[in-house]
Amino acid sequence: KAGVTQTPRYLIKTRGQQVTLSCSPISGHRSVSWYQQTPGQGLQFLFEYFSETQRNKGNFPGRFSGRQFSNSRSEMNVSTLELGDSALYLCASSDAGLGAGELFFGEGSRLTVL
Amino acid sequence: AQSVTQLDSQVPVFEEAPVELRCNYSSSVSVYLFWYVQYPNQGLQLLLKYLSGSTLVESINGFEAEFNKSQTSFHLRKPSVHISDTAEYFCAVTPDSGGYNKLIFGAGTRLAVHP
């Protein structure tokens, strides 16, 4: 089985721009979560989608949004980029609908905002 | 709300020595507990988890963790480490009801194994 695939792996943007990151979960997994990883704040939960519905959201401003498609692939979007948005964005998929299962993480998309 | 405290940001240790990575959590409800490992330039991988039952859980590569409810701890131990264990280790929690796949992570402990 292929693992969780995130694209692009690296990208550089400037302040004010927007960015879209993509995540393809493991086949059969219906849950996709997104996390932001920074040296200062560590790993922070952004949101989780299950069967195209957002069922959990972290404490991030509305500039951070996401969606999930019928094939379980997910995208997250960050608008009006700020320097502080520079981070590794990790996507994780799971086949456990109620949680407590294993999260399978992708290698991440490293965003640099200049 | 839940929170996780990993008491050591870095732990240096010599190869074949024992190691303990400490994790304490705070929660007003029952939780599931996890340890994840992150190797350089990679995503996170599940090391082990506690859901219920025996308070001692083991991984396939020799790590073990013990859930202590009274001390709200979930420390990770290995009796003899290898160079290949060098990585960052994250303790995480989620409520056992309604948490779905939202994990609250600790700040991480960087384990450096020296020859």
- Angstrom CA distances, B43 to A5, A6, A10, B74, B93, stand at 11, 11, 14, 22, 18
- Summarize the confidence of residues B92-103 as an average pLDDT: 81
| DSSP code, position B103 | P
Task: Give pLDDT, residue A97.
Answer: 60
Tens digit of each residue's pLDDT (9 = 90 or more) over B2-34: 899 999 999 999 999 999 999 999 998 888 999
Handedness of CA A31, B38, A46, B96 (dihedral sign): positive
Under the banding of pLDDT at 50, 70 and 90, the label for residue A36 is very high
* A-B Cβ pairs (cutoff 8 Å, strict): 69
Under the banding of pLDDT at 50, 70 and 90, the label for residue B94 is confident
More confident residue, B100 or B91: B91
Q: How far apart are CA B95 and CA B35, in angstroms?
A: 15
Tens digit of each residue's pLDDT (9 = 90 or more) over A82-102: 999 999 999 999 987 655 668
Q: Does A107 touch chain B (CB under 8 A)?
A: yes
Task: Give pLDDT, residue A100.
Answer: 66
Q: Which residues of B touch A (CB under 8 A)?
A: 32, 36, 41-46, 49, 51, 90, 94, 96, 99-108
- Alpha-carbon distance A80 to nearest alpha carbon in chain B (angstroms): 26
> Per-residue pLDDT for A1 more than 70?
no
Torsion of CA A106, A107, A110, B1, to 10 degrees: 50
Between strands B64-68 and B73-78, the pairing is antiparallel
- Alpha-carbon distance B10 to nearest alpha carbon in chain A (angstroms): 14
Under the banding of pLDDT at 50, 70 and 90, the label for residue A18 is very high
- Summarize the confidence of residues A60-88 as an average pLDDT: 97
Percent of chain A at pLDDT exceeding 70? 94
Task: Give pLDDT, residue B26.
Answer: 94
Phi, psi of A85 (to 5 degrees): -85, -5
Tens digit of each residue's pLDDT (9 = 90 or more) over B57-93: 888 889 999 999 999 999 999 999 999 999 999 999 9
Task: Give pLDDT, residue A46.
Answer: 96
Task: Give pLDDT, residue B1.
Answer: 83
> Per-residue pLDDT for B97 more than 80?
no
> Per-residue pLDDT for A61 more than 80?
yes
> Per-residue pLDDT for B99 more than 90?
no
- Alpha-carbon distance B18 to nearest alpha carbon in chain A (angstroms): 26
> Per-residue pLDDT for A17 more than 90?
yes
